[in-house]
């Protein structure tokens, strides 16, 4: 099902259904229960892009610390479930999915999932979506007596009912990882809707997630990479992700990427163009501009997220648009440089210290938010990214790469 179709249904039919459910709950007069000290089943709804799963890492870690005996169930879109399995966020039997490839499949999965959760008996549901009506309705349909989620408060145009009985305000000034943690605080809190009793937390400094790789596995992958692309065997590798994914306005101009790649190749580094198979034409166009044997096309080369992480282990630097690769990179030692413009790194930047956020800071940036359903008004002319010049980016990249290549000398014995 097309994204615009999903948004249309969510906006019009979703609002109507949320109003009906709100009226039903209001007539029933049920109050939010107190969560048991040792709940049996907690459901987390996280339908967003795969990168959001990495940003939710601290939230899942906190849930496990607070409720070690609870089964953590996770509901995602089927196309995003690979990451949760790789990160072992929960046992396989507790990972649930919805197939949104067609309306009929989506509706069927929603009905089957809701019935399954009601038979199981869910103590609480944590809805991580910002203002999605379908996730709010799912939180009610699963039968959980305690429903935690975000509220728009008085924000117009984002109505999704009043049946989230532990609702906390979405805060557009705090990093999303910090706000996910506030949902966990609301599970045991009793100060709603503002959750004033929540602890003061810093923005998480680490994802608290890891994918283990043995040295042998890394060495084997690196050797295979060099066999497949022998021209890069004697060079340090820099990866570029120039695709925009489902939001092309997040892409730094291809010509800027080409300029940076030319400078890197001229300085003796190898450049790998990564992406999905759909990015193959973009990679060919970039190679035609770069004109260097040291630039290789790696679009479609990695067949899974696990292989993508191994590729990150084999490289020194990732230069990328805002999206999944920048977040997955935080699970590895690679340094990243991430472009933000339509969205902001202050809210959605990768966690950890091995990343550099690049933003122009012009007045209209950021323009995508939960309040406008991530619809930009720039009509494809993303000046916020076009005004980030390539030469300073190249200079920063070379400065880092050369510093990494310089051996550290200790004091004489």
Among 384, 314, 346, 349, residue whose Cα is nearest residue 171: 346
Q: Is the pLDDT of residue 191 over 60?
A: no
CA angle 225, 226, 231 (to 5 degrees): 125
CA distance 283 to 296: 9
- Rounded to 5 degrees, φ, ψ at 392 are -65, -35
What DSSP string describes 287-311?
HHHH--TTEEE-TTT--SHHHHHHH
pLDDT of residue 2: 74
The CATH number of the structural domain formed by 215-405 is: 3.40.50.2000
Token pair of 54 as six digits:
């990495």
Span 68-87, pLDDT tens digits: 999 999 999 998 899 999 99
Is there a common fold for 3-188 and 215-405?
Answer: yes
CA distance 64 to 184: 10
> Which residue, chain included where needed, has tokens 């200079």?
395
pLDDT of residue 386: 96
Q: Is the pLDDT of residue 190 over 70?
A: no
pLDDT of residue 230: 95
Token pair of 199 as six digits:
């602890």
What are the boundaries of each domain within the chain?
A: 3-188, 215-405
The band of 248, judged by pLDDT with boundaries at 50, 70 and 90, is confident
CA distance 360 to 378: 15
CA distance 67 to 209: 18
Q: Is the pLDDT of residue 260 over 90?
A: yes
pLDDT of residue 195: 61
Q: How many CB atoms lie within 10 A of CB 326?
A: 26
pLDDT of residue 411: 36
Give the Å distances, CA to CA, from 258 to 142, 244, 268, 278, 284: 49, 16, 16, 19, 11
Longest dimension (CA), the chain: 81
pLDDT of residue 197: 67
CATH architecture of 3-188: 3-Layer(aba) Sandwich (3.40)
> Which residue, chain included where needed, has tokens 């399954």?
116
Q: Residue 357: which residues within 8 A CB-CB, separation 6 or more?
A: 338, 340, 345, 349
> What is the chain's mean pLDDT, rounded?
91
Span 142-160, pLDDT tens digits: 999 999 999 877 776 788 8
The band of 1, judged by pLDDT with boundaries at 50, 70 and 90, is confident
Instruction: Find out whether 163 and 78 touch, Cβ atoms under 8 Å.
Output: no
Q: Residue 385: which residues within 8 A CB-CB, separation 6 or more?
A: 250, 251, 252, 253, 339, 341, 342, 360
Give the Å distances, CA to CA, from 7 to 4, 131, 324, 371: 5, 11, 21, 13
């Amino acid at each position: 099902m097309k994204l615009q179709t999903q948004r249309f249904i969510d906006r019009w039919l979703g609002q109507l259904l949320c109003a009906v459910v709100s009226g039903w709950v209001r007539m029933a007069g049920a109050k939010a229960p107190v969560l048991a000290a040792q709940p049996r089943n907690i459901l987390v709804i996280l339908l967003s892009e795969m990168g959001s799963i990495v940003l939710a890492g601290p939230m899942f870690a906190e849930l496990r610390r607070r409720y070690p005996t609870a089964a953590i169930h996770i509901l995602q879109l089927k196309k995003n479930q690979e990451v949760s399995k790789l990160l072992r966020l929960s046992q396989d039997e507790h990972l649930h999915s919805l197939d949104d490839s067609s309306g009929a499949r989506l509706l069927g999965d929603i009905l089957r999932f809701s019935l399954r959760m009601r038979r199981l008996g869910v103590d609480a549901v944590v809805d991580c979506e910002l203002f999605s009506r379908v996730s709010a309705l799912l939180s009610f349909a699963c039968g959980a007596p305690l429903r935690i989620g975000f509220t728009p408060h008085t924000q117009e145009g984002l109505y999704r009912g009043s049946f989230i009985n532990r609702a906390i305000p979405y805060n557009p000034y705090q990093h999303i990882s910090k706000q996910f943690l506030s949902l966990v605080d609301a599970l045991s809190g009793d100060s709603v809707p503002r959750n004033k009793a929540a602890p003061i937390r810093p923005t998480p400094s680490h994802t608290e997630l890891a994918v283990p790789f043995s040295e042998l596995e890394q060495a084997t992958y690196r050797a295979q990479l060099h066999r497949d692309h022998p021209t890069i065997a004697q060079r340090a590798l820099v990866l570029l992700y120039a695709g925009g994914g489902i939001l092309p306005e997040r892409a730094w101009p291809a010509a800027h990427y080409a300029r940076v790649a030319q400078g890197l190749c001229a300085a003796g580094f190898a450049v790998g163009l990564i992406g999905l198979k759909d990015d193959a034409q973009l990679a060919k166009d970039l190679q035609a501009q770069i004109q260097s044997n040291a630039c290789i096309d790696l679009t479609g080369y990695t067949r899974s997220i696990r292989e993508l992480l191994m590729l990150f282990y084999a490289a020194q630097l990732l230069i990328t648009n805002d999206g999944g690769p920048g977040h997955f990179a935080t699970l590895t030692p690679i340094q990243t440089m991430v472009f933000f413009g339509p969205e902001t790194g202050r809210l959605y930047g990768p966690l950890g210290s091995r990343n550099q956020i690049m933003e122009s800071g012009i007045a209209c940036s950021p323009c995508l938010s939960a309040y406008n359903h991530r619809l930009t008004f720039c009509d494809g002319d993303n000046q916020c990214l076009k005004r980030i010049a390539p030469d300073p980016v190249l200079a920063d990249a070379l400065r880092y790469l050369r510093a990494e290549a310089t051996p550290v000398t200790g004091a004489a014995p």
